[in-house]
Amino acid sequence: MVNKSVFTLLIFLLLPFAAIRASEPPQKKLSLPECISIALENASSIKKAENARHLSGVDLLRSYGNFLPKLTSSANWTPTSVNRSYSVTSPLYGGVTSDAYRTRAETSTVDVSLTASLNLFNGLSDYAALQSALDRKKASGFSLQRAKEAVAYDVTQSYYQVLLDKELLGIARENLKSASDLLTLTERQFNIGLKSITDLYQQQADTGNGKLEVIRAENRLRRSKLELLRRLRIDPETELTLEPVDTAAIAKLSPDIDLNALKTTALARRADLEAEALQSNAARWDVKNSAGTRLPKLDLAFTVSTDAIDSYSMRLQGVNYDYPYPSLGKQLDNGIDYALSLNLSWMIFDGFQSRYTVQSAKIARLNKQLDYEDLKDDIQIDLQQVAEEYRAAFDQIASARTGLKAAESAYAGILRKYELGASGFVELSASRAARVNARSSVTQAFYNLALQKALLDFTAGTTSIE
């Protein structure tokens, strides 16, 4: 009895802790490759591209099916068919009078037929449709590849933004700690008469601004984490912890790039450009497919059919006549008919419908070719712009580091003067703000270089999605 009471007490004691643990949000520690892998699995754009590729495969199968015979079967069972009419029995054929008599015929029949047809020629429309479907099937694969690259770059951008906002939050907190320590020093100096009440108020205001900047930095970090969660498509309540980027790999990057080689690589490897080329070629086959309707169509058909009468009865002048027939199976077996036909059809005039269809296909082909040429030019222009921004990122880092070194030295000197009473608060506040801005600039320049490298790879079509 005592053991049972102790066990019950332990359950009640542990229940609150279990509830607290269950209410805690899930936590994940992820690296950049893991984030990309999760996004590739969950992204709606990729699923839509996969669905489009699947549909293009079904369309290709349909195009292959156009070269196979079409098989049609039909069966009909009429349990009762009643036909009422008038019949004339002429004396010339053994009748006794030429009066009309009302007749009633009732039948029960079974009909079965099977038809196989094969198109022998239709202006090569089936061949053109097959080639178009093959090109579109390949294009859908390249579109899926480009969608994956776009997701990988998007996640990389959001990942770097979270890390950048985390670094900026750290800088803001460090600046707040420095301002708080200086506020403590100013209060002590005010108490012993070394600082005026104005200096104390100014330092309190500066500390308040530091707290406000920390709050803003926390909000930016929280927002960037939510944006990353949006791209990962996982539980929004997840508490993310991101692994830092490989700074050594980024430090090894070189500003020297061969723009012409990059353009050649992009034109050869950009999946979306290859997809546009295939779509343009498919549109060319669509023109031939449409033009095929102007030519004659030749079909070979083979039909086998059979029928049987289950019962047949007639009522004439009040007398019922029943006609006996063999069994249904025997009739169906002995009544099989065959027909082999060769059908030639040619639409001479269709109200200019063929002309409109062909012209529409030609316009679609011209538009696809324009899309291809525009994308080709855009890739080269984008590469030139991204390459310049990539080179400029190195200059930004060097300039930011130089500015940080100068700002650190200036702040250290002014802080010593301020502690000794040889410098005013305005000068110290401006120096501290310059140091914070310089540290933020270095951090932003570093992540800007990493992002520019990712953008350069994405533009050149060399983004890794492994």
pLDDT per residue over 319-376, tens digit each?
A: 787 878 888 888 888 889 999 999 999 988 888 999 999 999 999 999 999 999 999 9
Which two structure tokens, joined as six digits, stand for 427?
Answer: 């000068």
For 304, how many CA atoms within 13 A lie in the half-sphere containing its CB? 7
- Whether residue 456 contacts residue 390, with contact meaning beta carbons closer than 8 Å, is answered with yes
Which two structure tokens, joined as six digits, stand for 406?
Answer: 């100068």
- Whether residue 442 contacts residue 242, with contact meaning beta carbons closer than 8 Å, is answered with no
Q: What angle do CA 461, 267, 148 make, to 5 degrees?
A: 25
Instruction: Categorize the per-residue pLDDT at 177 as very low, low, confident or very high, splitting at 50, 70 and 90.
Output: confident
Q: Which residue has the tokens 């006609």?
A: 323
pLDDT for residue 103:
80
Which two structure tokens, joined as six digits, stand for 284?
Answer: 């060319």
For 134, residues 6+ apart whose C-beta sits below 8 A from its C-beta are 60, 63
DSSP 146-166: HHHHHHHHHHHHHHHHHHHHH
Q: Which range among 46-60, 233-247, 259-273 shows the weakest confidence by mean pLDDT?
A: 233-247
Instruction: Categorize the per-residue pLDDT at 183 as very low, low, confident or very high, splitting at 50, 70 and 90.
Output: confident
Query: pLDDT: is 199 or 64 the higher one?
Result: 64
pLDDT tens per residue, range 198-254: 878 888 888 899 899 999 999 999 999 999 999 999 988 888 889 988 878 888 888
pLDDT for residue 5:
60
pLDDT above 90 for 417: no
Q: What is the mean pLDDT of residues 143-155?
A: 95
pLDDT tens per residue, range 418-458: 777 777 666 777 787 888 888 888 888 889 999 999 999 99
CATH number given to 26-68+122-296+352-460: 1.20.1600.10
Instruction: Categorize the per-residue pLDDT at 92 as very low, low, confident or very high, splitting at 50, 70 and 90.
Output: very low
For 250, residues 6+ apart whose C-beta sits below 8 A from its C-beta are 446, 449, 450, 453
Q: Which residues pair with 109 in a beta bridge?
A: 78, 309
Distance separating alpha carbons of residues 146 and 461, to the nearest angstrom:
8
Quickly list H helices, 192-270: 197-232, 247-251, 259-269
pLDDT above 80 for 317: no
Q: Helix or strand or coil: residue 90?
A: coil
Q: Which residue has the tokens 């005010």?
A: 190
Which two structure tokens, joined as six digits, stand for 97?
Answer: 């009078």
* Segments making up each domain of the chain, as ranges: 26-68+122-296+352-460, 74-120+297-345
DSSP 390-450: HHHHHHHHHHHHHHHHHHHHHHHHHHHHHHTTSS-HHHHHHHHHHHHHHHHHHHHHHHHHH
With CA atoms as reference, report the closest residue to 463 among 150, 247, 246. Answer: 150
pTM of the entire predicted model: 0.81
Which two structure tokens, joined as six digits, stand for 196?
Answer: 């005026």
Instruction: Categorize the per-residue pLDDT at 300 as very low, low, confident or very high, splitting at 50, 70 and 90.
Output: very high
With CA atoms as reference, report the closest residue to 241 among 35, 453, 22. Answer: 35
Phi, psi dihedrals of residue 355, rounded to the nearest 5°: -60, -45
pLDDT for residue 23:
52
Name the average pLDDT for the chain. 87
With CA atoms as reference, report the closest residue to 269 among 281, 261, 257. Answer: 261
Q: What angle do CA 453, 383, 395 make, to 5 degrees?
A: 50
